[in-house]
Amino acid sequence: MKTLLKNTPLVIGLGLLALIVVIAVFAHVFYPVSPWQSSAIPLLEPFADDTLPLGSDMLGRDVAAGIAYGARVSLTVGVVSTIISITLGVAIGALAGFYGGMLDNLLMRFTELFQTVPQFAMAVVFVAIFSPSLTTIVLAISLVSWPPVARLVRGEVMSLKTREFVKAGIVLGESEGALIFRHILPNAVSPIVVMASLMVATAILTESALSFLGLGDRNMISWGYMIGASRTMLRDAWWLSVFPGLAIVVTVVAVNLIGEGFEKALNPQAHGERKA
């Protein structure tokens, strides 16, 4: 526990993320009025009015409220799509790495199919084909982000498979499921956790980019949408894009810090804290 507190990136990252989570969860308490509702004169500058600290947009909507409600979308997309793509990636990677041979070949060629198309372009196409909604966005992001997980897990499984304790499991007559779930995957958790935390950040960025292009969920305000909607006013009303932009930066930095912190905690050798 003490060593965890000394882990500066993890502490700062978790602190920032906790703040964002609180804002997202209690958005309706802080801002009972819908973020789509006009609540002031249009284009109110930030810090001019105490009730609207971040100003208002061209329709008089509260920017701060937008950011608070937008956090919900960003966090949901980040967490859910990461869970889906990790599950998919671990399953495919574990099967390919454990069984090898034909199955490995098939699954890896399938993975390459996804890797050869640029990720973002594929996400755009997917969302555009199905109508843009939170579900399709989450699915699209999951669909384009699992291949690196599958590759990582496959490599880990292939190397763990040759370790003697796995051989011992075989000799003791343990089933293949037991070998994979009790012996191999638990020992591959640390790189997967590190990768997952970094994927959350990428997913948030991808969602913002999709919303910026107008492919966001029309019913929910999101940071990317706010930037996209105000891009024409960038010179006249800088605050409309800068504050959502800052929100994205802070969230992504927080998540990246957590990822870095995990890596430091799970893999101390790589950071010069070697036990002599």
Partner 1 sequence: MTRHATDVLNIGKLSVRLPDGADRPFAVHDMDLTIEKGEILCIVGESGSGKSMTANAVMGLLPKSLRFSAEHIRLNDCNLLRQSRSTLRDLRGREVAMIFQEPLSALNPLMRIGDQIAEVMKVHPGSDFTDIRARVLQLLAFVGLPEPETIRSSYPFRLSGGQRQRVMIAMALALEPDLLIADEPTTALDVTTQAQILDLMKRIRDEKGMGIMMITHDIGVVAELADRVIVMRHGETLEEGAVADVLEAPKHAYTRQLIDAVPMMIPKDARPFDTPPLLSVKNLNKIYGKPGGKHRAVHAVNDVSFDLRAGETLSVVGESGSGKSTVAKLLVKLEEPNSGQYLLDGEDVTHLSVRAFRPKRRVIQMIFQDPYSSLNPQHTVARSITAGPLAAGVSRVQAMEDARRLISRVGLDESALTRFPHEFSGGQRQRIGIARALAMSPRVLVADESVSALDVSVQAKVLDLLADLQREYDLGLIFITHDLRVACQISDNLVVMHRGRIVERGSAHDVLLQPRAPYTQALVAALPGQAWEARREAAILAEQRS
Which spans of this chain sit near partner 1 (rule: CB under 8 A)? 163-165, 167-175, 178, 182-183, 186-187, 276
Query: Residue 47: CB partners within 8 Å, gap ≥ 6?
Result: 53, 55
Beta bridge partners of 49: 52
Least separation in angstroms between residue 158's CB and partner 1 is: 15
Least separation in angstroms between residue 99's CB and partner 1 is: 12
Least separation in angstroms between residue 86's CB and partner 1 is: 19
Residue 78, judged by CB atoms within 10 A of its CB (0-12, 13-18, 19+), counts as buried
Amino acid at 85: S
Least separation in angstroms between residue 166's CB and partner 1 is: 8
Which residue, 125 or 178, has its beta carbon nearer to partner 1?
178
Residue pointed to by tokens 């970094």: 198
DSSP 163: S
Least separation in angstroms between residue 115's CB and partner 1 is: 27
Which residue, 113 or 178, has its beta carbon nearer to partner 1?
178
Tokens (6 digits) for 210: 């999709």
**In residues, how long is the chain?**
276
Which residue, 26 or 165, has its beta carbon nearer to partner 1?
165
Query: Residue 156: CB partners within 8 Å, gap ≥ 6?
Result: 93, 97, 184, 187, 188, 191, 192
Which residue, 6 or 167, has its beta carbon nearer to partner 1?
167
Q: Measuring CA to CA, which residue among 236, 240, 231 is closest to residue 46?
A: 240
b/e 134-147 (16+ beta carbons within 10 angstroms → b): bebbbbbbbbbbbb
Least separation in angstroms between residue 272's CB and partner 1 is: 10
The Cα–Cα gap between 117 and 166 comes to 36
Amino acid at 42: P
Beta bridge partners of 52: 49
Question: Biggest alpha carbon distance in the chain?
Answer: 75
Which residue, 1 or 276, has its beta carbon nearer to partner 1?
276
Least separation in angstroms between residue 173's CB and partner 1 is: 4
Which residue, 99 or 110, has its beta carbon nearer to partner 1?
99
Least separation in angstroms between residue 189's CB and partner 1 is: 9
Which residue, 30 or 165, has its beta carbon nearer to partner 1?
165
The Cα–Cα gap between 153 and 241 comes to 38
The Cα–Cα gap between 111 and 127 comes to 20
Which residue, 5 or 172, has its beta carbon nearer to partner 1?
172
